[in-house]
């Protein structure tokens, strides 16, 4: 009999390897897609069709000089990238990728609550990085990040509560099973649109990348970082993108369930296709939309998304109450 901790360890190592590989090639495909959108080839020199570019980037990042500003707080400065990375990685421990216990590391009843609790900590990595760098541009970037995440986290949470009311559970697997007859993107289309917008803002991606804003803040919170520590922030950003894509698949797109009765295709493949489409939307937005002005960014979150998310929640609750009566 194999001990439970051994099984959990093996699953964790497999998921970690798959997720890191997915990050590497998501970054490559984004550069390729942006290149095609801008009528240029993109990375195509390292390996066949540029497929070894992620490995070359990793080697370059590892061997780059690691600099620490003279006035920086040494402990917090070094700790901040690991906070962002560990919180980004921790979410994959409870995401079910398909039906059955083999496809999830840990089956948690309140899975969605655990993920929201863990991802809310990720802002500390960015905030502490900006403060500990002892530089004005990183500090401004960290302040922007804190305000932005607080603003958009409220609307994102409210958009998900409608799904929880319909499903009657906070278990991610239970939410997928509750969509057996209809995916929640249909009754919760408004919630899905709000989730889509807020997910882009929560991960600091274009057109909501005011935290980094090269034209204003040089590089934002990670301006003073170099080498491997800069790479950790980069990895955390893409892992957060993958996390919200997986959550969108589980909450609104039926998870691993097959559309149109195409049950001959494995559920894990459907899950990857749906999450991949959501990731492509990220890249499409970056290549299409200009960066928002900061005051309009905040106004969108507080004056439009939050009221609409609240109204969507009220309507959903009223409909469920009337049907229950």
Which pLDDT tens digit goes with each residue over 138-151? 888 888 888 888 88
* Residue partners of 157: CB distance under 8 A and separation at least 6: 116
How many Å separate Cα 25 from the centre of its chain? 16
The mean pLDDT of 97-105, rounded to a whole number, is 86
Instruction: Determine the Cα–Cα distance for residues 160 and 192; give it in Å rounded to an integer.
Output: 8
CA quadruple 245, 246, 250, 252: dihedral, nearest 10: 0
Confidence tier at 242 by pLDDT (50, 70, 90): very high
Residue 17, in any domain of the structure: no
Residue 230, in any domain of the structure: yes
The mean pLDDT of 258-262, rounded to a whole number, is 78
Q: Which of 203, 31, 128 is nearest to 211 (CA)?
A: 203
Domain count, the chain: 1
The mean pLDDT of 237-242, rounded to a whole number, is 91
Predicted confidence at residue 237, as pLDDT, reads: 87
Residue 297, in any domain of the structure: yes
Q: Which of 267, 278, 316 is nearest to 160 (CA)?
A: 316
Q: Name the helix (H) or strand (E) containing 252.
A: helix 227-252
Predicted confidence at residue 279, as pLDDT, reads: 92
Task: Tokens 């061997």: give the residue.
Answer: 63
Residue 112, in any domain of the structure: yes
R_g over Cα of the chain: 20
User: Residue 152 pLDDT > 60, yes or no?
Assistant: yes
Instruction: Determine the Cα–Cα distance for residues 292 and 269; give it in Å rounded to an integer.
Output: 35
Predicted confidence at residue 61, as pLDDT, reads: 86
The mean pLDDT of 268-290, rounded to a whole number, is 91
Percent of the chain residues topping a pLDDT of 90: 36
Residue 147, in any domain of the structure: yes
Q: What DSSP state is assigned to residue 300?
A: I
Confidence tier at 266 by pLDDT (50, 70, 90): confident
Percent of the chain residues topping a pLDDT of 70: 100
User: Residue 303 pLDDT > 90, yes or no?
Assistant: yes
Confidence tier at 275 by pLDDT (50, 70, 90): very high
Predicted confidence at residue 74, as pLDDT, reads: 86
Residue 42, in any domain of the structure: no
The mean pLDDT of 20-29, rounded to a whole number, is 90
Predicted confidence at residue 68, as pLDDT, reads: 83
SS3 175: helix
Instruction: Determine the Cα–Cα distance for residues 272 and 263; give it in Å rounded to an integer.
Output: 15
The mean pLDDT of 28-40, rounded to a whole number, is 90
Residue 313, in any domain of the structure: yes
Residue 55, in any domain of the structure: no
Tokens of 118: 């863990």
Identify which has the larger pLDDT, 47 or 263. Answer: 47
User: Residue 161 pLDDT > 90, yes or no?
Assistant: yes
Mean pLDDT of the chain: 88
Predicted confidence at residue 188, as pLDDT, reads: 95
Beta strands in the chain (DSSP E): none
Tokens of 76: 């917090």
The mean pLDDT of 6-15, rounded to a whole number, is 87
Identify which has the larger pLDDT, 175 or 138. Answer: 175
Predicted confidence at residue 270, as pLDDT, reads: 92
CA quadruple 288, 293, 296, 298: dihedral, nearest 10: 100
Instruction: Determine the Cα–Cα distance for residues 219 and 320; give it in Å rounded to an integer.
Output: 46
Predicted confidence at residue 33, as pLDDT, reads: 92
Confidence tier at 317 by pLDDT (50, 70, 90): very high
Predicted confidence at residue 231, as pLDDT, reads: 86
Predicted confidence at residue 251, as pLDDT, reads: 95
Task: Tokens 């949470």: give the residue.
Answer: 157
The mean pLDDT of 178-201, rounded to a whole number, is 93
Burial 6-28 (b: 16+ CB within 10 A, else e): eeeeebeeebeeebeebbbebbb
H-state helical runs in 68-135: 74-90, 111-132
Confidence tier at 105 by pLDDT (50, 70, 90): confident
Q: Which of 46, 224, 43, 208 is nearest to 131 (CA)?
A: 224
Select, from the ranges 69-78, 122-131, 162-171, 283-292, the one with the highest average predicted confidence (pLDDT).
162-171
Predicted confidence at residue 225, as pLDDT, reads: 87
Structural domain that includes position 78: 67-324
């Amino acid at each position: 009999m194999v001990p439970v901790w051994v099984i959990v360890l093996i699953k964790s190592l497999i998921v970690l390897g798959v997720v890191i590989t997915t990050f590497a090639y998501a970054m490559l495909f984004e550069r390729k897609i942006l290149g095609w959108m801008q009528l240029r080839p993109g990375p195509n020199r390292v390996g066949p069709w540029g497929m070894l570019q992620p490995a070359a980037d990793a080697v370059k990042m590892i061997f780059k000089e690691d600099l620490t500003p003279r006035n920086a707080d040494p402990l917090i400065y070094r700790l901040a990238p690991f906070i962002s990375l560990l919180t980004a990685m921790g979410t994959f421990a409870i995401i079910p990728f398909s039906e059955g216990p083999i496809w999830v590391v840990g089956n948690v009843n309140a899975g969605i609550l655990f993920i929201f609790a863990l991802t809310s900590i990720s802002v500390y990595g960015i905030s502490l990085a900006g403060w500990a760098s002892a530089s004005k541009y990183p500090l401004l970037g960290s302040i922007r990040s804190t305000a932005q995440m607080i603003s958009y986290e409220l609307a994102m949470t409210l958009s998900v509560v409608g799904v929880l009311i319909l499903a009657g559970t906070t278990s991610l697997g239970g939410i997928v099973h509750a969509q057996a007859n209809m995916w929640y993107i249909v009754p919760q289309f408004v919630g899905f649109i709000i989730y889509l917008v807020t997910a882009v803002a929560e991960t600091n991606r274009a057109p909501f990348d005011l935290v980094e804003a090269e034209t204003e803040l040089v590089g934002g919170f990670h301006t003073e970082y170099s080498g491997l520590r800069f790479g950790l922030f980069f990895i955390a950003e893409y892992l957060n993108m993958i996390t919200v894509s997986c959550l969108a698949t589980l909450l609104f797109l039926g998870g691993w369930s097959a559309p149109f009765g195409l049950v001959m295709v494995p559920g894990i493949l459907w899950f990857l296709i749906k999450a991949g489409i959501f990731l492509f939307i990220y890249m499409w937005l970056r290549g299409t939309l200009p960066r928002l002005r900061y005051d309009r960014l905040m106004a969108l979150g507080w004056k439009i998304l939050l009221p609409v998310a609240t109204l969507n929640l009220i309507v959903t609750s009223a409909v469920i109450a009337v049907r229950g009566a």
